[in-house]
Amino acid sequence: MPSARLSLREEDVVRLALEFLHNRELHISQLSLERETGVINGNYSDDPLELLKAFDARKFRFTILKHKYTELLCIKSEANAIGSSVDNAVEEVVKVLSDLEKCAPSKEEYSTMCLLLTLPRLTDHLHYKDWNPSNARVQCFREIYSLVAEFLPGDRKTSDEERYSSAKNDRLIQLIIKGEATDITTSDA
Radius of gyration of the CA atoms of the chain, in A = 22
**Residue 153 above 60 pLDDT?**
yes
pLDDT digits (tens, 9 = 90+) for 67-101: 999 999 888 777 665 555 666 677 888 899 999 99
pLDDT band, residue 23 (cuts 50/70/90): confident
Question: Which long-range CB contacts under 8 A does 120-125 form with residues at least 24 apart?
Answer: 120/77, 120/80, 121/77, 122/70, 122/73, 122/74, 122/77
Residue 165 confidence (pLDDT)? 54
Residue 113 confidence (pLDDT)? 92
Domain residue spans of the chain = 8-38, 54-151
